[in-house]
Amino acid sequence: MANDNLQIKKLYALSSENRKFSFSLPLKQTIRIGKRDYEVKLKADEKYGTYILWKNRKYPVEIVRSSQNKYEILFNDISYTFTVETPFSLKRMKVLSSKRGKIEREYIKAPMPGKIIDVLVREGSTVVKGEPVVILEAMKMQNELLSPVNGTVVKVTAKSNTNVMKDDLLVEIKL
């Protein structure tokens, strides 16, 4: 990486919905909107915790998770996931994805501890994005867990009337 760093002039934050935000280095403490630069500050204090100050307004921020170049950020109560890429890694990624295709498997996990009320798919079922696959009861509510992708169910580990822990694998979908 050290060699790469010398030449890095830009970084890209790619959102999970494939929007690309580019930032030139060194990273400025301002963001340009139209013809004006607005100052952006990351701050933290006892009273509010961590926040971003932008146009005289505080926005609560939290890093939910991070690993390598992937960041899940909670900004003003909404989650965003970005991968931060250098011009080189971006190019490499494009080459790889054109060769290999994108993600091949989607794993549906229990977002919270609870009880499986119903499993709505079987191995071999085709699912479309947004289709409920499992009903999980937690906190007095029945929650439909939706498929985030179009694909085919290849594995069902969820069973009706069983308790599950957070992050237990329930259904595996092949894209």
Q: Which residues bind other proteins (CB under 8 A)?
A: 1-2, 5-6, 8, 11, 13, 15, 19, 21, 23, 25-27, 29, 31, 33, 40, 42-44, 47-50, 52, 54, 57-67, 69-80, 82, 84, 111-114, 138-146
For the bound state, the minimum distance from the C-beta of residue 63 to other proteins, rounded and expressed in Å, comes to: 5
* 3-class SS of residue 96: helix
d(CA 39, CA 171): 45
For the bound state, the minimum distance from the C-beta of residue 66 to other proteins, rounded and expressed in Å, comes to: 5
d(CA 152, CA 175): 6
For the bound state, the minimum distance from the C-beta of residue 82 to other proteins, rounded and expressed in Å, comes to: 4
d(CA 87, CA 37): 24
Among 97, 99, 101, which Cα is nearest to 175's?
101
For the bound state, the minimum distance from the C-beta of residue 48 to other proteins, rounded and expressed in Å, comes to: 6
Nearer to other proteins, 9 or 100 (CB): 9
Nearer to other proteins, 138 or 169 (CB): 138
Burial class (CB in 10 A: 0-12, 13-18, 19+), 74: middle
Nearer to other proteins, 61 or 150 (CB): 61
Nearer to other proteins, 27 or 99 (CB): 27
Write out the two tokens for 15: 């959102």
